[in-house]
Amino acid sequence: MAFDPSNGFVASSDVPGLADELLPIFDVEQVQLQFSIAADFVSAQTANNVLILALSNGRILRIDLNKPEDIDDIDLPKKPTEVGVIRRMFLDPTASHLIICTSQGENYYLHSQSRHPRPLARLRGVSIESIAWNPSLPTASTREILIGASDGNVYEGYIEHSTEFYRKEEKYLKVLHKLPDGPVTGLWVDTLPGAGTDIRRIMISTQSRLFHLVGKVGKNDGGGSIYAKLFEAEQPVVHELPRSTAATAATSDLVISPDHPQDTTRPHDGDVNERVFAWLSSHGVYHGQLLLSPFTSELGNKVFNEAQLLPRAQLMTPERVGGRRMTASNDYINAIALTHWHIISLIGDRVVAANRLTGDIVYDQVILNQGQKAIGVCVDVQKNTYWLFTSQEIFEIVPRDEDRDIWKIMLKLKKFDAALKHAHTPAQKDAVAIASGDYLLSKGQYNEAAGVYGKSSKPFEEVALAFIDHNQPDALRKYLLGKLSTFKKSYIMQRQMIASWLIEIFMAKLNSLDDTIITRAELSETLNPTQTREQLDVVRAEYQEFVNRHKSDLDRKTVYAVIGSHGREEELLYYADAINDYHFVLSYWVQRERWSEALRVLQRQTDPEVFYSYSSVLMTHVAAELVDILMRQANLEPRNLIPALLEYDRNYKGPLSQNQAIRYLLYVVNQLQSTDSAVHNTLVSIYAAHPSTSKDESALLSYLESQGDEPRFDPDFALRLCIQHHRVLSCAHIYTSMGQYLQAVQLALAHDEIDLAIIVAERAHSNPPLRKKLWLAVAKKVISQSNGIKTAIDFLRRCDLLKIEDLIPFFPDFVVIDDFKEEICAALEEYSRNIDSLRREMDESAATATNIKVDIAALDQRYAIVEPGEKCYVCGLPLLSRQFFVFPCQHAFHSDCLGKRVLEQAGPGKAKRIKECQVQISRGLVKGRKREEMIGELDGLVGEACILCSEYAIKRIDEPFVKENEDKEEWAL
């Protein structure tokens, strides 16, 4: 059967506008047994999804809830008539260790890997009431555990699983303490995170008292007690019931809350989530947090001071709901269990769940039939499952979102952080934020309220006006920042309005702080001038962070207007820099003639248009620094900077070596290898126009010479400039590079540059007539300027083309021949030697012609000897069998064999002619003399050269030795 939980109820919310939850927090469902039993349940335990059931006939059922069809049926070593029925069982959280206690004081140990319980000899006769398992949860052995007995003794034991028959399971057993007030009904041991594994907390419960101990345990030396040191050194903190009201008949139990479901590590070892304890006594349920600090005996006082009692009367007489019957006031609570937020109580035939924070009953349902009695409630602390057992039935208590109302409770208690932590839906979180903000505002904590309001849905105007009415601009700024982050990107207008308002607030705050620092006044009773400066830095950093995060929400013109109206230069430039409005920043610094700041901004730019826009003004005032920056920019188009360079050069009055325009253009030409004629022409124009070039053209000439035969500049443009500025050397170089040697020589001679004219004349070495003409022009100029014949004679010796007779027309009419008699004689002797040389050459030519005639006559008598057995080099047959050819190299071929080979290797034209001749001769198409001429032509074409020695053989060099149709074995080595 399954129980209908409709009669249960949950605590309603007092928060306006929120509907109460309709579904119950708990439900109790009967588990359908997949097996049949012949006896009643007498005890049950569950842990780690393992269910242990003890039957009245002494059998033990071990069920894995993941595989409920697999059931281990285990029997005690002795019959119930010998040892009694099973009274209690204790299962550790890992389901590895089970201790079984019988009604006659026999105790057995069963390991999860065994099916045979082993008797615990040292514990014989001890009536075990409670066990505290080792916090480290070992599985191979129990390690050190605490055992509470019905006689008030607290034992320390160590049980180790063994397969040896004669070996005892208990490693040792030691009595630690004797409590005089009855059975030890509950034990708990845990470690305190951060205190080390040797610091442990122990809680002990009896019928009337609850003990809390914290201290250091001893070292595990392999066989001795570790808790004896703690019990000897520490005095427990005791919470005691008044003796006059303590009822011995009431059930006493100590339970601890299960592991937190989000824990993925071992929960009992270093658990950072505080657990909850609950002590069931005659007065009710005393419960509280198991705090984790301090690590002294004060921890017990702190735990008990913060704990609270859920009275028995509050659980026993709940408000009547539906047709549920009332419970007698003298009934006691049979058992309790702890969930994370509720206390589950078993009272007679009812299951009652109360919220441990408020004490409100959230579930009250009759579960058992009339006369039916429960044997206990078990909790799987690792899997967070809760079970109720009767003698024949098993029920599961199922929590459903038990923390869904925790946020409401925390809100009532004004624990807003905790309420927000446990709020799940946006509506719940919003309700917490509004309530928290209202509370903080009422307490005057405006900044804290602003942070909370910013995440809530409380009307914007109401919150903003509240801060304005209270004169809290800082809180208003914080609220607006928080509110801005909640608007979606699609709310463009709202985001822009709030962001613009924040700019105004930031500027007002910064101005206020600056005024306070300047006047050295106290901003408030709590801030001195030093703290004011620190706050100024904080607000400025906050403004900068705001601009970087929300620059897309700010309107550029509005922000410039607002910040400009406040005169905040640094903030204005920071905003412009954040939105990459470098034109504004550069324009700002340029207008104020603060060139260093302008250059610092320009250094960070990569947009070429920025450089083009501001290069003119910066070249005028900080040329060298600007050129340094330009030379580091690889994405610029140099021709776009030419206007700025020319404007700079027009006003420049310094030496050529320090001209920054030339420096940049040379970098572009030499390093960037620019081919732009505009760049080269600009460089030429600056060089040619500079006044220093009139005395020293070396720089211009060096550039012109570096351009080589294919200059990048416009030669006509450069020539006009050089002529305009009288740069003779440069003009001559340009004329020469254009091949106009005569114009270059004439220009040089016109400016009396004899040496330059000579250099130009020598460059025409590839054209001897032109070279001689140039030298004659130079000679004419030299003779016309010389005062005597000796100068002309010296010039004559510098050229190997001119003779004395070439210069005679340039001498004056009244020149005495004696002045250059030696030169005339030398010329005549030279002519005589040339005539003798020509005569010898003519004699040698006549002798050569005679020898050629003799050789031609000898060709008619040339012959070759053919041996009788000689074969054709193509077919291998006897050569004399038919017409053949014999070559001077002694190779011989049949006429037809040679013809075939020649046809194979000859060009298309020659092969075609050979075929034509062969066809006409063979068919008799030509006769008489014409036939003889064609035969002679055919013999000449075929016998032109030996196919083995001539160029025919060279053309066949790529043919393989062994052809495809030949036997390759003949060539094998």
CA-closest candidate to residue 750, choices 772, 723, 769: 723
The yes-or-no verdict on residue 20 having pLDDT over 50 is no
Would you give the distance in Å from CA 654 to the centre of its chain? 53
Mind listing the pLDDT tens digit for each residue in 494-539? 999 998 999 999 898 888 888 888 876 554 455 567 778 888 888 8
Residue 807, CB half-sphere, CA atoms under 13 Å: how many? 28
What's the chain's average pLDDT?
81
Q: How far apart are CA 336 and CA 348, in angstroms?
A: 12
CA-closest candidate to residue 45, choices 124, 123, 142, 110: 110
Higher pLDDT, 300 or 713: 300
Mind listing the pLDDT tens digit for each residue in 330-382? 568 899 999 999 999 999 889 999 999 988 899 999 998 888 889 999 999 99
Q: How far apart are CA 461 and CA 455, in angstroms?
A: 15
Neighbours of 373 (CB within 10 A): 10
Flag the least confident range among 475-489, 580-594, 657-671, 808-822: 808-822
Task: Provide the edge-to-edge strand list for the sheet that holds 41-47.
Answer: 41-47, 50-55, 59-64, 71-75
Looking at the DSSP bridge assignments, the partners of residue 2 are: 29
Q: How far apart are CA 483 and CA 114, in angstroms?
A: 64
Write down the pLDDT at residue 693.
67
Instruction: Tell me the mean pLDDT in the region 126-138.
Output: 95
Instruction: Tell me the mean pLDDT in the region 819-836.
Output: 66
Q: How far apart are CA 896 and CA 899, in angstroms?
A: 5
Mind listing the pLDDT tens digit for each residue in 616-638? 888 888 888 888 888 888 888 88
Split at pLDDT 50, 70, 90, the class of 11 is very low
Instruction: Tell me the mean pLDDT in the region 713-736.
Output: 76
Split at pLDDT 50, 70, 90, the class of 166 is low
Split at pLDDT 50, 70, 90, the class of 954 is confident
DSSP H or E run through 674? none
Q: Is 222 exposed, middle or buried (0-12, 13-18, 19+ CB in 10 A)?
A: exposed
Q: How far apart are CA 397 and CA 759, in angstroms?
A: 116
The yes-or-no verdict on residue 26 having pLDDT over 60 is yes
Mind listing the pLDDT tens digit for each residue in 681-701? 888 888 777 777 667 677 777
Task: Provide the edge-to-edge strand list for the sheet that holds 385-390.
Answer: 26-30, 394-399, 385-390, 374-380
Mind listing the pLDDT tens digit for each residue in 848-866? 888 888 877 776 677 778 8
